[in-house]
Amino acid sequence: MKDYSYVFNAHPAYIESMYKSYQQDASSVDEGWRVFFDGFEFSSKGHGVSDTELQNDSGNLSVKEFGVMSIIHGFRNRGHLLATTNPLKPRKDRQPHLELSDYALEESDLKKVFVAGEEIGIKNGTLAQILDKLRTIYCGNLGIEYAHIENREKRMWMREKIESRNFEGSYGLSIEKKNQILQKLNGAVIFEKFLHTKYVGQKRFSLEGGETTIAALDAMINAAADDKVVEVVIGMAHRGRLNVLANTMMKTYDQIFNEFEGTAILDQSFGDGDVKYHLGFSSQITTPSGKLVQMKLAPNPSHLEAVNPVLEGFTRAKADLLYDSNYDRILPIVIHGDSAVAGQGVVYETVQMSQLDGYYTGGSIHFVINNQIGFTTNYEDARSSTYCTAAAGIVQAPVFHVNGDDPEAVVFAAELAVEYRQKFNSDVFIDMVCYRRHGHNEGDDPKFTQPQMYELIEAHKNPRELYLSALIERGDIDTKLGDELEKKFWAELQDRLDMVKQKVLPYKYQEPEQAWRQLKKTIEISDMVAPETGISKKDVDKILKHLMSLPQGFSPLAKISRLQKSKQDLLDKGLSRLVIWRIDGLWIINAGG
C-alpha cells in the first residue's frame, strides 16, 4: 500500500490547487497525486461521506479537511517534541509547528465536525476532540519517534499499537502490574537509601532519580519470557549496577554487603578483580508467570560503553551455540547513559554493524538512563542532536522518550519495545528522562557545577513516593501499604547486613560456561614472582627537586603556596614520599607526606 506522507506534509492550499488541476485533467498531475485523488473521490462517493462534508461552497475540495489530515500527520511526526518527558522542568521549545495556523485552521474551527477524524478513530468528531486525542497519544509523558522508519509494515504496526491503546486509566495496566511496579520501585529506592545511610560517602554510582529503570527491566524480562525468550543478557556501565544486581539479577544482599565491608573473597586467578560496581553476575530467576529465565550481566570496566560490542558478541555466540541461531530465544538489553550514548564512538560502531550477517543478534533493546548531565556537563553543551538517541536513526529504530517519574508510561514503553523486537527482530530505543540525585559519585558535590539543576532535584520527590501518591489518589491501593512495604524491606536489608545469613541462589552452569571452568591455569598463584620495581634515591631526589621548583616569574595562588610550603617542610624533615602510578597511559607523580 502506498505511503501518502508527501500529501500530509504539503500545505493545504497546494493540495487544493493540485485537486483543481486533477478535476480539469487527471493526467496533468503526478501519478501519486492522481491515485490519491482517485481514492479520495471513491471514498467520498461510495462510502457514506457526502460531497458537502468534503467540499466548500464553491464545490472545491475543502482545504480545512486536508488541514485536519495534515495536522494529524504532523502530530504523528513531531508530537514527541511536545511530550512532557522532563520530570524537572518544562522542555525546551523545539518548534514542532503544530499550531492551528500552521495548517490553515482557526480557533473557530474547533467546534466543527471533520470527516478526517476517522483517521484516528473519531467518526464525526470535532476538531477539538481530534486534537485532544492527538495530544493524549503523542504529547503526554510518552513521546514516540517512529515516522523515520522506512519499512511501512513496522511503521504502521507501531502506529496501530500506540493509537489503539486503552486510554481509560492511563496505559490500561492491571492492578497486578501496578502492584508489581510498586514492589520494584520500593526495592530500588529503599536499597539505595539503605546503602546511602550505612555506607556514607562510599562510591556506588547510585540509581537515585532513575529507579524506574528497575521496573522497566522487570517488565522487559517478564514480557520477553511470556513470548519465546529463555535468556536475557544485559550490558551496562556503573550507574545503577548495584541496584540491577540486587533487584533484577537477584544477587543476594549479603554478597553486596560483603563487598562494601571488604570481606568478599574474589576469584583472582585470571586477574586482580575489579570494584563492585564493575562486576558481572549470572543467575536464574522465575517470572510471575512461572517462566525460568537465564540471566547474565556482563562485567564492564570504567570505559562506559566498551561493553556494547562485547555484549553483542556474547549474545551471538550463545544464540549460535545454544539456540540454533534462533534470536527469539535470547534478548540483549544494553543500558546506556545519555552522554555516553550520544558521544562515545563505540555506540555508533556497534549499532552500525548490528544488521550485518556476522554481527546480527536479532535486535537489541537500548535503554537510556537519561539523567540530563554528563559528569558535570549540561546536555545542551554535550551534543548537537535534539535527542541523545540519534544513533537510533542509523538502523531506523523506533525511540520511546518517556518521563522517568511515570512508571506506568515506562512499563508500557518497555513491554511494547519487547513486542516490537520479538516481532521484527530489530533494535528499539527507550530514552527514560530522569535525573541524578547525587554528583557523579557519592563523594562529589554537584552544586559547584549545576547549582540551579540541583535546587530542583533537592525539592523533587523520588519515583516511589510519586507513584505511591498516584496509586492512593486513584484508589488502586490502601494508604498504609506504602509504609508497610518500606518498613518490611528496610528490616530485611538490616537483617541481611546484621546476620549475613542469606543463601546464594542456585545456579546451573551452561555448556559454554562449563568449558570455560575446565580451563587449566598456566601458572599457579604461588609460582608467581613479583618483579623488582622502584627507582634509585638519586632519581627520587631529582624528581622531587623538579616537582618543588616553580617556574621563574610564576606566582601561584595562596592555597598552592601553602601546599608547596607544607610539602617542602616534609622534605626537609625526611618524611616525604613519592607516589607514581599510571592511568590510561599517563604517568601521574605525586609527592607528599
Mean per-residue pLDDT over the chain, rounded: 83
Q: How far apart are CA 412 and CA 425, in angstroms?
A: 19
pLDDT number for residue 568: 84
H, E, C per residue of 142-205:
EEEECCCCCCHHHHHHHHHHHHCCCCCCCCCCCHHHHHHHHHHHHHHHHHHHHHHHHCCCCCCC
pLDDT number for residue 342: 93
CATH 3.40.50.970 in the chain is located at 175-479
pLDDT number for residue 497: 63
- Is the pLDDT at 275 greater than 60, yes or no? no
For the chain, the 3-state helix, strand and coil shares in percent, each to the nearest 5, are 50, 10, 35
Q: How far apart are CA 63 and CA 73, in angstroms?
A: 15
Nearest Cα residue to 230 out of 326, 320, 366: 326
Tell me which amino acid residue 477 is.
I
- Is the pLDDT at 502 greater than 80, yes or no? no
Residue with cell 535486535: 363
pLDDT number for residue 361: 97
If DSSP codes are grouped into helix, strand and coil, which group holds residue 292? strand
pLDDT number for residue 51: 41
pLDDT in tens, 470-480: 888 888 887 77
CATH 1.10.287.1150 in the chain is located at 5-141
Q: What percent of the chain has pLDDT over 70?
A: 81
Q: Give the predicted TM-score (pTM) of the model.
A: 0.77
Residues 4-36: b if buried by 16+ CB within 10 A, e if exposed: beebbebebeebbebbebbeeeeeebeeebbeb
Q: How many CA atoms lie within 13 A of 108 on its CB side?
A: 2
Kindly state the average pLDDT of the residues 340-360.
Answer: 94
pLDDT number for residue 323: 95
Spatial contact of 207 and 213, defined as CB atoms under 8 Å apart: yes
Beta bridge partners, 402, equal: 142, 432
Please give the residue that has the higher pLDDT: either 563 or 89.
89
- Is the pLDDT at 41 greater than 80, yes or no? no
Strands 113-114 and 142-145 turn out to be unpaired
Q: How confident is the model at residue 278 (pLDDT cuts 50, 70, 90)?
A: low
What would the grid cell of residue 525 be?
Answer: 598463584
What would the grid cell of residue 58 be?
Answer: 464553491
Nearest Cα residue to 514 out of 271, 321, 229, 246: 321
Tell me which amino acid residue 324 is.
D
174 contacts: CB under 8 Å, gap ≥ 6 = none
Q: How confident is the model at residue 26 (pLDDT cuts 50, 70, 90)?
A: confident
Kindly state the average pLDDT of the residues 76-104.
Answer: 93
- Is the pLDDT at 271 greater than 80, yes or no? no
Number of H helices, E strands in the chain: 21, 14
Spatial contact of 154 and 424, defined as CB atoms under 8 Å apart: yes
Kindly state the average pLDDT of the residues 326-333.
Answer: 97
Q: How confident is the model at residue 424 (pLDDT cuts 50, 70, 90)?
A: very high
Going from the C-alpha of 533 to that of each of 518, 529, 530, 580, the distances in angstroms are: 34, 12, 9, 11
Residue ranges with strand state E in 139-219: 142-145
pLDDT in tens, 207-261: 899 999 999 999 999 999 999 999 999 999 888 888 999 899 988 777 777 766 6
Q: How far apart are CA 260 and CA 440, in angstroms?
A: 19
Residue ranges with strand state E in 404-466: 428-433
Going from the C-alpha of 82 to that of each of 76, 103, 155, 470, the distances in angstroms are: 11, 17, 20, 23
pLDDT number for residue 9: 59
pLDDT number for residue 475: 84
Kindly state the average pLDDT of the residues 122-151.
Answer: 93
| CATH (residue range 5-141) | 1.10.287.1150
pLDDT number for residue 562: 87
Q: How confident is the model at residue 65 (pLDDT cuts 50, 70, 90)?
A: confident
- Write the DSSP string, 545-579: HHHTPPPTT----HHHHHHHHHHHHHHHHT--EEE
366 contacts: CB under 8 Å, gap ≥ 6 = 334, 336, 341, 389, 392, 397, 427, 428, 429, 430
- Is the pLDDT at 48 greater than 50, yes or no? no
State the DSSP code for 331: E
Kindly state the average pLDDT of the residues 38-42.
Answer: 61
Find how far residue 59's CA is from the centre of its chain.
52
Q: How confident is the model at residue 487 (pLDDT cuts 50, 70, 90)?
A: confident
**Maximal CA-CA distance, the chain:** 102
Kindly state the average pLDDT of the residues 264-282.
Answer: 56
pLDDT number for residue 220: 98
Residue with cell 607516589: 579
Please give the residue that has the higher pLDDT: either 30 or 153.
153
Beta bridge partners, 514, equal: none
- Is the pLDDT at 115 greater than 70, yes or no? yes
pLDDT in tens, 528-541: 777 788 888 888 88
Kindly state the average pLDDT of the residues 362-383.
Answer: 91
pLDDT number for residue 66: 85
Nearest Cα residue to 297 out of 235, 390, 365: 235
pLDDT number for residue 1: 37
Specify the fold of 175-479: Rossmann fold (3.40.50)
Spatial contact of 247 and 184, defined as CB atoms under 8 Å apart: yes
Q: How far apart are CA 394 and CA 392, in angstroms?
A: 5
Q: How far apart are CA 431 and CA 413, in angstroms?
A: 10
pLDDT number for residue 40: 61
Q: How far apart are CA 417 and CA 407, in angstroms?
A: 15
Q: How far apart are CA 365 and CA 414, in angstroms?
A: 9
Q: How confident is the model at residue 501 (pLDDT cuts 50, 70, 90)?
A: very low
Please give the residue that has the higher pLDDT: either 363 or 23.
363
